[in-house]
Amino acid sequence: MATTEKASPRDRLLDAAAELFYRDGVSIGVEALCKSAGVSKRSMYQLFDSKDEVLAASLERRAPGYAARLVPGADDAGTPRERILYIFEQVEKASTEPGFMGCPYLAALVELKDPGHPASVVARASKERMKDAFRVQAELGGAREPDLLARQLMLVFDGANARAGAKLETLDGLTVETVRTLLDAAGVA
């Protein structure tokens, strides 16, 4: 982590939070977070009002990179069907990585169980953006019920992330085939 030492205390806290909360869960203590970031508790509280705000800010900061890893770029060619399938191909690919623990936004929502928690608000917004993106692609692809298909795709996405993240399931084509079946049934060309 040589580059981390040159980063600001805020960036070091957010980097450490993203790593620790994803790997170990949101119950990580302030001391462990600060120690990992190389930042004093006093500095953390000067930058953030609470650990909850650090978690929320780390999830918010992570969103663009997370989306870029999953979603094909705007310039990438492909039909709406191909764009949807691409996302599930990326989930399957990511699920084979040793540190894969599933979707960080789903994990935060499940662990926190408090819809008003600052990190839950960020995580829920991320999930809504993804569902909206699925709905847009479903509409562009001619789905008979794009809202329903978007909800079904979210169910597969979250289910695949949860099961693979908990090491209960190996995805190996399972999600892609499931999504193909849903796309066929919805009339997405």
Q: What pLDDT does residue 68 have?
A: 85
Average pLDDT, the chain: 93
Cα 154 to the center of its chain, rounded Å = 12
Residues contacting 79, CB < 8 A, separation 6+: 141, 189
* Per-residue pLDDT at 2 exceeds 60: no
Q: Which fold does the domain 62-186 belong to in CATH?
A: Tetracycline Repressor; domain 2 (1.10.357)
Average pLDDT over residues 14-27: 94
Average pLDDT over residues 137-162: 97
How many angstroms separate the CA atoms of 115 and 109, rounded?
8
Pick the CATH number of 1-48 from 1.10.287, 2.60.40, 1.10.10, 1.20.120: 1.10.10
- What does the domain layout of the chain look like in residue ranges? 1-48, 62-186
Cβ pair 103, 165 in contact under 8 A: yes
Q: Which whole-number Å values give the CA distances from 159 to 19, 27, 28, 166, in the listed order?
A: 22, 23, 25, 11
* Per-residue pLDDT at 35 exceeds 80: yes
How many angstroms separate the CA atoms of 168 and 175, rounded?
14
